[in-house]
A and B are shown apart, each in its own frame.
Chain A
Amino acid sequence: MSAVTTHHDAHGHEVPYEVQLRSNRLGLWLFCFSEVFLFLALLVARFYLWGNTRPELSQVLGLLTTSILLVSSFFMNRAETAIAHGDRKTFLNGLLITALLGTLFFVGVVVMEWNVFGLELELFGVEWFGHLRPTDGVFGGVFFAMTGMHALHVLSGIVFILIVWANGRKGHFSPERHWGVEACAIYWHYVDVVWVFFYPALYLIGHVA
């Protein structure tokens, strides 16, 4: 992952960085592809159980969390671009902003949409805390399964970003060698892609039951 790592094949020969990089990329993309089946199964469950209906959810909260994740992807891309061009300050700041926005998304889903603390707040005609429970039949079950599995990936993404940030501060990445940053960026954008499909499936498609 870092610039000082040297890889060897089964016979002890040094593997050129470019070759290792291609293998790493292929491995990560295969991992992402394997996860497609997990998220696809959840999407299929949603359409099988909900059909053309959906629970009543706060549209403002859904759009807000979606926007936060979208902006986080922008800053992750900015951080990766920065390290690729030797701009260390923008790289580190970009990672921190991404982690912060990811945390905001996580809070938006877990604290506000799931409403784990049972809060109530109506401001500007918007209910800022959800009322759906996991026990509310197929609506609750599917909603919590989909958002829960996604939130778990967001959480692991935030941890990944913070590890890369800490390594970045120690100077482990350079414009020539920054696979750790690239991997982190691909993973984070992948989490965004999953939400691109989950958001309309949960909040927009079908009529309110």
Chain B
Amino acid sequence: MEEKKKAAYRLGVITFVILAVLTVAEYYASVSLAASAVIMFIIAFLKAGVIVQNFMHISRLWREEGH
């Protein structure tokens, strides 16, 4: 139980770090490199994917058990 709890908290931290890095990357790509809209949308979709998977737990929709 304690291990599961630690793993769940760790996943939250890892997800947050990934999102922070991608946010800084998209800011830098726009301000310093004037990146195209395609690049910006690729980064946005990556961020959205990480949130939907790790924060919104979309996979629970197909699971049989409860929480």
Q: A: which residues have CB within 8 A of B?
A: 17-18, 21-22, 25-26, 29, 52, 59, 63, 66-67, 70-71, 73-74, 76-78, 81, 84-85, 87, 175-178, 182, 185-186, 189-190, 192-193, 196-197, 200, 203-207
* Chain A proximity of B51: nearest CB distance (Å): 5
* Chain B proximity of A64: nearest CB distance (Å): 11
A–B complex contacts, Cβ < 8 Å, 22 sampled: A22-B61, A70-B19, A73-B16, A73-B19, A77-B16, A77-B55, A81-B8, A81-B12, A85-B1, A85-B4, A175-B67, A193-B52, A196-B44, A196-B47, A197-B48, A200-B26, A203-B30, A204-B26, A204-B27, A204-B31, A205-B37, A205-B40
> A25, A63, A203, A206: which contacts B60 (Cβ < 8 A)?
A25
Instruction: Report whether B55 and A29 are in contact in the complex, using a CB–CB cutoff of 8 Å.
Output: no
Instruction: Report whether B27 and A63 are in contact in the complex, using a CB–CB cutoff of 8 Å.
Output: yes
* Number of B residues with CB within 8 Å of any CB on chain A: 38
Which of B30, B51, B52, B66 gathers the greatest number of chain A CB atoms within 10 Å?
B66
**Total of A-B residue pairs, C-beta within 8 Å:** 100
Instruction: Report whether B67 and A176 are in contact in the complex, using a CB–CB cutoff of 8 Å.
Output: yes
A196-B46 Cα distance, complex, nearest whole Å: 10
Given the known interface contacts A70-B16, A73-B51, the answer about A200 and B56 at a Cβ–Cβ threshold of 8 Å is no
Chain A residues positioned under 8 Å from B26 (CB to CB) = 200, 204
Chain B residues positioned under 8 Å from A206 (CB to CB) = 37
Chain A residues positioned under 8 Å from B12 (CB to CB) = 74, 77-78, 81
Closest to A206 in B: B37
Chain A residues positioned under 8 Å from B61 (CB to CB) = 22, 25-26, 29
Given the known interface contacts A175-B67, A193-B51, A193-B52, the answer about A200 and B5 at a Cβ–Cβ threshold of 8 Å is no
Chain B residues positioned under 8 Å from A73 (CB to CB) = 16, 19, 51, 55
Instruction: Report whether A200 and B44 are in contact in the complex, using a CB–CB cutoff of 8 Å.
Output: yes
Chain A residues positioned under 8 Å from B31 (CB to CB) = 59, 204
Instruction: Report whether A18 and B44 are in contact in the complex, using a CB–CB cutoff of 8 Å.
Output: no
A189-B16 Cα distance, complex, nearest whole Å: 12
**B window 22-55: CB within 8 A of A:** 23, 26-27, 29-31, 34, 37, 40-41, 43-44, 47-48, 51-52, 54-55
Instruction: Report whether B44 and A189 are in contact in the complex, using a CB–CB cutoff of 8 Å.
Output: no
